Structure 1
Amino acid sequence: MFEAARTPPFGKLVAITLLAGIGAALASPRLLPWQAMAPLLLLAAAAWWRLRRARVLAAFAFGFALASLHAAHALALQLPPDWEKRDATLSGRIVDLPTHEARRSQFRFRVDDDASQPAPLRGRLLRLAWYDDDPQPRAALKAGQRWRLQARVRAPRGLRNPGGPDAEKYALAQRLSVNGYLRDPQLSARLLAPPSGLDAWREAMCARIAAAVPTPAARFVRALALGDTRGLDDADWEVLRATGLTHLIAISGFHVGLAAGFFALFARGLWWLLPGLGRRVPAVAAASAAAMAGGLLYAAAAGFALPTVRTWLMIAVVAGLRLLRRPQRGADALALAAIAVMLADPLALLGAGFWLSFLGVAWLLWCLPAAGEGGWRERLGGFVSAQGVASLGLLPLCAALFGQASLAGPLANLIAVPWWSLVVVPLALIGTGLETVHAGAGAFAWRWAAACFEPGWPWFQALAGSGLALWWLPEPRWFALPLALLGAFWLLLPRGTPGKALALLLWLPLLWPDRRLPAPGEAELVVLDVGQGLSVLVRTAHHSLLFDAGPAVRDGFDAGERAVVPALHALGVRRLDAAVASHGDQDHAGGLAAVLRAFPAPLRLGPPDIAGEAVRGLDLKTCEAGREWRWDGVRLRFLHPPRHFPYLRNESSCVLRIDSEHGSALLTGDIGEVVERDLVRRAAQTPAETVRADVVLVAHHGSAESSDPAFVCAVGARYALVSSGYGNRFGHPRADVVERWRRAGAEVADTAAGGALRIGLRAPADAAARNAGLRLETRRQAHPRLWDASRRAPGLSYRPD
């Protein structure tokens, strides 16, 4: 039986409870007041140290209070609402490496901490963009420069969709205060000082690698040596994700540990060649100090990115124990390292790297205690076993974090881990070290690293394109991950453990979650959050239709690729049966090409004579009024445009009506008041053309040129859904339009406020209740987060009184 009095202050149980306390604080939808958390932190710290019997509870309370205070501080750093969309003149330094794209350059900017800067921005970290079709002026941006510039600023805010990245969580973890863009940069931006410091050295080294390696593999050498992934395009990342090799390319804890290991081996070799050194400094101490120094140097070369700093802390803890001659078992050392990392930065738990690194090491320590012992056959067997343990043990976490599992990952890692780790990365590091000492001295090592990398890359590309590499998984419920981890633990128990086959049942909620599909006769609509644009998924029991695919803009953002496709995967869509481009404008059809690459819908529809760059080459059939079909007891019918209607962009938008057994919906595209009145007129003449619906998509994002009063009255909707971008320059949705729908009895919901909007035309739970099957779910309400930006942005909620 466990005795609390014997619980060490920095043992495994304390590490677990500290982790639980921090996790509970970060999982909470709201922060508790700092005035309560600060005293709790002090009391918990005293109890942790003094009260042995209450140490576990004290560690939990300490973690909860510490994470709450860190999160409160990080949120306090973000731009206050009254500063939204203001112009500010700032001076400061470019930190990290600027990213140059076709129409813009992005960079991080640390504002000077002095009285000449605006008070809400002093000393803050900003992410800024310089937009210009001419890349020449933007090429002047270099890491380590000091600039004075004028920027329009706004608080960090992102799209909220199933399966999509959480930009607000990323901003919190990175302590990003502001997003913004430069105003008249060619007139207002002025260089104050040339590049200097660590970031300038990194960019200079990147340029030397590009000059020294005349092959495309130079981009991978830069990534492995200095963490510069700017040269990797979307196709490269797709290959890396499909083969499970992302952790080997992007600078991570793995590389820092590798550098520390090589420095330790070098120190050991030096002490072996010069035995006299051992009389002054023990070899173990020298190796430990060298490991810390090597890891620190490599973390500096990578720009002290958070994953590298976290890993260096782990190395420093283990090496420090050895320097103090207090060796501990692997599990105890891992627990102490985890405590050190969590105390240094409790918000590290928001990143996937923390969980993958610590859980991966924990699995290996538990399952492979004797790895590395014996002859070469035993070592080879231990390496293969380690790959198997890591793949199986981390599969639940990867599936929950990324919504996908790489089936080719174990095989790809079996080849890439030893080759890249023992050959390519050391050569890249040697080249960087030699180049630091003398210009030109490291070129040969960089070229060798590229030559060793190149032969295997086509094989990984072929493996990624095999169709068997990546398995997309629907978004699971919260309990799926703990059950799957328990199942993995059960499967990795020693041979002979009974009931291992039953452990597979614990994986079912994660690998085959409930997709919440409609029953026959029912339908569901999901209005995705794509910014200032539109994309709606319509699902029946066995079919899916996508109505528009969001914008693709010239600065490189493609909502189809970055928002719609991940959301379709997370919602469990396996195929699209039809795709509709309501009209050819970029904000509606721009992302369609990217969606069709991932989901090649056999039926593609658009208005007659549709024009626009976004739909070029897509071969669309017409969506003229009267065309209809049935799926699973649900009727889908186009109401507009009629035959021979000329293509007039917005006014030619396809209008789709969905009739289920339990309700109806109307998708309107960008039609204006003239078309709306025409629909009402036609409905009065032909009952089949009725516009009355329970759910309506407010036309043209809620602009003043749509939502005609007669149309609003004729529709009589219970829910009016708006797709708009937060803080868009058009002022959509207009306040008078929102009020018009509210007065007609509709509840108005906007993607800018709620994220993705999900509503089902389903059978009511109580047959006697009228319209009880209609229930609106917003992404931000269904998945509340303490860092939710919508709570700090006033005036974005529209609900009936």
Structure 2
Amino acid sequence: MLTGIATCLWSPALASQPWLWSALLIGALLWWRGRAVRWIGALAFGFALAGLHAAHALSLQLPVDWEKREVTVQGRVVELPEHQSRRTAFAFRVSDTSDQPAPLRGRLLQLSWYDDYDGAGTGRDRLLAGQQWQLTARVRAPRGLRNPGGFDSEKRALERRLAASGYVGDPEAARLLAPASGLDAWRESMSSRIAGAVEGGGARFIRALALGDTRGLDDADWQVLRANGLTHLVAISGFHVGLVAGFFALVVAGIWWLWPALGRRCPRPVAAAVAGLAGAMLYAAVAGFALPTVRTVLMIAVVAGLRVFRRSTSTFDSLALAAIAILLVDPLAVLGAGFWLSFFGVAWLLWCLPGAGRRPLRDLVSAQGVATLGLLPLSVVLFGQASLVGPLANLLAVPWWSLVVVPLALLGTALEALGAGLGAWPWQLAAWCFERSWSLFEWLADSDLALWWLAEPAWFAMPLAMLGAFWLLLPRGLPGRPLALLLWLPLLLPARHLPARGEAELRVLDVGQGLSVLVRTAHHSLLYDMGPAMPAGFDAGERVVLPALRALGVGQLDLAVVSHGDNDHAGGFDAVRRAVPVGAAYAPEGAPLVGTRPCVAGRAWQWDGVDFRFLHPPPYFPYLGNEASCVLRIQTAHGTALLTGDIGEVIERDLVRRAELEPATSIRAEVVLVAHHGSASASDPGFIVATGARFALVSNGHGNRFGHPKADVMARWHHAGAETRVTSEGGALTVRLVPGGPAVETRRRAHPRLWDAARRTRQAPAAAPAGLSYRPD
């Protein structure tokens, strides 16, 4: 069943509804009565079930004709709003009433509420979980960036059944309809009480461990947790739910032991199982029924049900039944990393440590070794990283945090629920215990053995590594176990597919409304621009460029070029420079950037048989923003590329004039990065003809407020014989200057996903100018 679900959700397109319903019915029948072919029935049933759930989730998303509309909606704030210095991000469930817009009725929106530019609050500070509001919002269907190593927000939106994202368009018109109420309001109130009762930085972690409220954790905290492999222990994890369930079961079993007569009314194992389930559900409610906790509750419910109905099953059968229960409820859970890590982690431990519990200390050490080996392939594929200090950090954190800090945090929450102020001392003690260990993990995170970033592996690397892990974890004494390490090589040392001598590869990253291009030769790397960065918000350098560099195996940059100082090109520069060694950095003279050398026309160098030359700005050219952009020509034995920054028509005409006077400054190029994101102020007709480009590439944000690229600009390039590619449609663009001429590939076409296909079917092509064909990729 799991294989069928995974096959469906990783397919490039969905089957039609009639086929899915037929496969569901036939699969269910074969699973029930098929005997020898039951496995085919389970596979078909899983495939169809996932397809129907995915189709329903995609149907909830906003239709294309509602894109960018301003709609007035009423609904409830669900989950906990995340307050930042310039905005508040929150989930909003629209009321399911007839007076709400039909495409949004009863659906979940992800909204942002921004302050005015002067920083004055406009009411978002009053936004609390559980409140009911009337808002005017500008919405659009979920849309994300697609890059190597990048987070796939469209997949996340599908998993959450998100209908649209957007922002509050008129904060002044927002109206509070009803005060906070319900479970989320209680969690918000309790989180505020923890913050008031605990002094110092420990409060943010107690809120996370007691309530699953991670809003107080900043990027530095998450970096320490990732470096130590401890993210699974912060917030309410499935492991903590299991501990609470075990505590409740132990307490009830103790009561039955003290009063044996209770066993006449209800057997002790049954009572303990029901109590464990009740404790798990209570703790999941405290966490706001987050997905990891719901999965664990379902697993515990299966085990409790087997106890109640007195069914004897093996631990592996119980695990399989729990997986079936989760997949029947939500087959889209396999899109999340938590599902795979949870079930594979438990399966490895059950197989390798069947008799655990007799020697606690030795079992704890063994469990860390098994989890490290068994889950490393999944961690590398899912996150692109491995923590070398993770086993040691977990060996210390699991018993200390889970058996000391978490019980104290929960005790404080329980006492506070009984009366205001009663929970202060357990919370303070929990924070003190946590802070005693945190400094150690910060020290480990700063060591050279912390995070090991790995390049994006081939599809077959993970199955081979899992087979290698199975081989390594076989009983001692089996000959040939060291040979299993050979099966890990495709995962740990993946092929980087570097260009040969005389060739070059360009990656135009999908950074939204901005620009970032990675240029690689056989032994060198150059980064041209780093995308935008917003105050206390999205930083393309951190969120896009760095993950892409790591996924492509780029550990250092020989050269960085910031075309000019505008935020959409230079915003991510600081984040990149902090994380990656940079040999030298160039920018126009006078640009507001620290630690850069001036890029001057005529400066040239050669790497691995590839020639690089700056064509603009000339010496003593004043810094004029866009017009001072560094223009870089990359010439290989098999073609030339031209990177133009944000220059306008005046500079383009000047480049044409200089090229006519001096052959060394030729602008002939097979691949041209269209200047200024396809703005009407650039792409002069004479310049387009002079380049003779076969491919014109545009880096822009989907639905940007400038309308880039302009239709008439794209028409000019098309009429000149160039094929156009746009990052907002195809994701990151890969250009290879190789024998046979340049080849261009889009990320969405090279790595298709079923939600891409659904998006294309929903989106009708916009009316194109005469002679301009629509090419979404």
Q: Normalising TM by the smaller chain, what interval?
A: over 0.9
CA drift at 1:800: 11
Question: How has the CA–CA distance of structure 1 residues 352 and 321 changed in structure 2, closer, same or farther, with 3 Å as cutoff?
Answer: same
User: Which has the larger displacement, 700-709 or 657-666?
Assistant: 657-666
1:667 equivalenced with 2:667 (yes/no): no
> What is the CA–CA distance in structure 2 between the aligned matches of 1:500 and 1:305, rounded to whole Å?
40
1:148 equivalenced with 2:134 (yes/no): yes
CA drift at 1:136: 6.2
Structure 2 counterparts to residues 719-738 of structure 1, below 5 A: 719-738=695-714
Structure 2 counterparts to residues 132-143 of structure 1, below 5 A: 132=115, 133-135=119-121, 137-143=123-129
Asked whether the 8 Å contact 2:123–2:171 carries over to 1, the reply is no
> What is the CA–CA distance in structure 1 between the aligned matches of 2:652 and 2:235, rounded to whole Å?
52
CA drift at 1:107: 0.6
> What is the CA–CA distance in structure 2 between the aligned matches of 1:446 and 1:694, rounded to whole Å?
64
Q: 2:383 aligns with which of 394, 402, 415?
A: 402
User: Which has the larger displacement, 731-740 or 547-556?
Assistant: 547-556
Structure 2 counterparts to residues 771-790 of structure 1, below 5 A: 771=741, 774-788=742-756, 790=759
> What is the CA–CA distance in structure 2 between the aligned matches of 1:629 and 1:750, rounded to whole Å?
30
1:170 corresponding residue in structure 2: 156
Asked whether the 8 Å contact 1:746–1:800 carries over to 2, the reply is no
Q: What TM-score do you get using the length of structure 2 for normalisation?
A: 0.97
Asked whether the 8 Å contact 2:211–2:235 carries over to 1, the reply is no
Gaps spanning 5+ residues in structure 2: where? Answer: 767-772
CA drift at 1:798: 4.6
1:13 corresponding residue in structure 2: none
1:422 equivalenced with 2:403 (yes/no): yes
Asked whether the 8 Å contact 1:41–1:62 carries over to 2, the reply is yes
Deviations 1:664-697 (A, max 9, x none): 1100000000000000000000000000011110
Q: 2:726 aligns with which of 746, 750, 757?
A: 750
Question: How has the CA–CA distance of structure 1 residues 185 and 82 changed in structure 2, closer, same or farther, with 3 Å as cutoff?
Answer: same
**Matched letter for residue 681 of structure 1:** R
> What is the CA–CA distance in structure 2 between the aligned matches of 1:555 and 1:168, rounded to whole Å?
22
CA drift at 1:555: 5.3
1:61 equivalenced with 2:37 (yes/no): no
> What is the CA–CA distance in structure 1 between the aligned matches of 2:360 and 2:539, rounded to whole Å?
47
> What is the CA–CA distance in structure 2 between the aligned matches of 1:561 and 1:790, rounded to whole Å?
27
Asked whether the 8 Å contact 2:80–2:128 carries over to 1, the reply is yes
1:486 equivalenced with 2:467 (yes/no): yes
Q: 1:103 aligns with which of 70, 86, 90?
A: 86
> What is the CA–CA distance in structure 2 between the aligned matches of 1:634 and 1:790, rounded to whole Å?
39
Asked whether the 8 Å contact 1:522–1:633 carries over to 2, the reply is yes
Gaps spanning 5+ residues in structure 1: where? Answer: 1-17, 765-770
Q: Give the secondary-structure state (helix, strand or coil) at the position aligned to 1:139.
A: helix
CA drift at 1:27: 0.8
1:271 corresponding residue in structure 2: 256
CA drift at 1:799: 4.1
Q: Give RMSD over aligned pairs.
A: 1.3
> What is the CA–CA distance in structure 2 between the aligned matches of 1:142 and 1:619, rounded to whole Å?
44
CA drift at 1:137: 1.9
Q: Give the secondary-structure state (helix, strand or coil) at the position aligned to 1:276.
A: helix
User: Which has the larger displacement, 197-206 or 249-258?
Assistant: 249-258
1:182 corresponding residue in structure 2: 168
1:644 equivalenced with 2:620 (yes/no): yes
Question: How has the CA–CA distance of structure 1 residues 239 and 619 changed in structure 2, closer, same or farther, with 3 Å as cutoff?
Answer: same
Q: 2:218 aligns with which of 230, 233, 237?
A: 233
Asked whether the 8 Å contact 1:748–1:800 carries over to 2, the reply is no
**Matched letter for residue 588 of structure 1:** H
Asked whether the 8 Å contact 1:75–1:787 carries over to 2, the reply is yes
Structure 2 counterparts to residues 619-698 of structure 1, below 5 A: 619-698=595-674
1:11 corresponding residue in structure 2: none
**Matched letter for residue 86 of structure 2:** R
> What is the CA–CA distance in structure 2 between the aligned matches of 1:40 and 1:800, rounded to whole Å?
32
1:548 corresponding residue in structure 2: 529
Q: 1:531 aligns with which of 498, 509, 512?
A: 512
Deviations 1:179-238 (A, max 9, x none): 01011112x100000000000000000001001111211000000011000000000000
> What is the CA–CA distance in structure 2 between the aligned matches of 1:218 and 1:275, rounded to whole Å?
43
> What is the CA–CA distance in structure 1 between the aligned matches of 2:405 and 2:274, rounded to whole Å?
25
1:35 corresponding residue in structure 2: 18
**Matched letter for residue 112 of structure 1:** S
Deviations 1:143-201 (A, max 9, x none): 00000110001000000000000000000000111101011112x10000000000000
CA drift at 1:488: 0.5
1:370 corresponding residue in structure 2: 355
Structure 2 counterparts to residues 71-90 of structure 1, below 5 A: 71-90=54-73
Asked whether the 8 Å contact 2:210–2:235 carries over to 1, the reply is no
1:357 equivalenced with 2:357 (yes/no): no
> What is the CA–CA distance in structure 1 between the aligned matches of 2:433 and 2:255, rounded to whole Å?
28
Q: Give the secondary-structure state (helix, strand or coil) at the position aligned to 1:418.
A: helix
Q: Percent identity?
A: 67
User: Which has the larger displacement, 270-279 or 738-747?
Assistant: 270-279
Asked whether the 8 Å contact 1:738–1:798 carries over to 2, the reply is no
Q: Give the secondary-structure state (helix, strand or coil) at the position aligned to 1:531.
A: coil
Structure 2 counterparts to residues 110-149 of structure 1, below 5 A: 110-132=93-115, 133-135=119-121, 137-149=123-135
Q: Give the secondary-structure state (helix, strand or coil) at the position aligned to 2:718.
A: helix
Deviations 1:615-656 (A, max 9, x none): 3xx211000100111111111110000001010000000000
> What is the CA–CA distance in structure 1 between the aligned matches of 2:625 and 2:200, rounded to whole Å?
46
> What is the CA–CA distance in structure 1 between the aligned matches of 2:349 and 2:776, rounded to whole Å?
56
> What is the CA–CA distance in structure 1 between the aligned matches of 2:56 and 2:461, rounded to whole Å?
32
1:343 corresponding residue in structure 2: 328
> What is the CA–CA distance in structure 2 between the aligned matches of 1:798 and 1:228, rounded to whole Å?
46
Q: Give the secondary-structure state (helix, strand or coil) at the position aligned to 2:641.
A: strand
Aligned residues: 766
CA drift at 1:503: 1.1
Structure 2 counterparts to residues 456-467 of structure 1, below 5 A: 456-467=437-448
> What is the CA–CA distance in structure 1 between the aligned matches of 2:508 and 2:120, rounded to whole Å?
36
User: Which has the larger displacement, 781-790 or 198-207?
Assistant: 781-790
1:19 corresponding residue in structure 2: 2
2:563 corresponding residue in structure 1: 582
1:290 equivalenced with 2:275 (yes/no): yes
**Matched letter for residue 197 of structure 1:** G
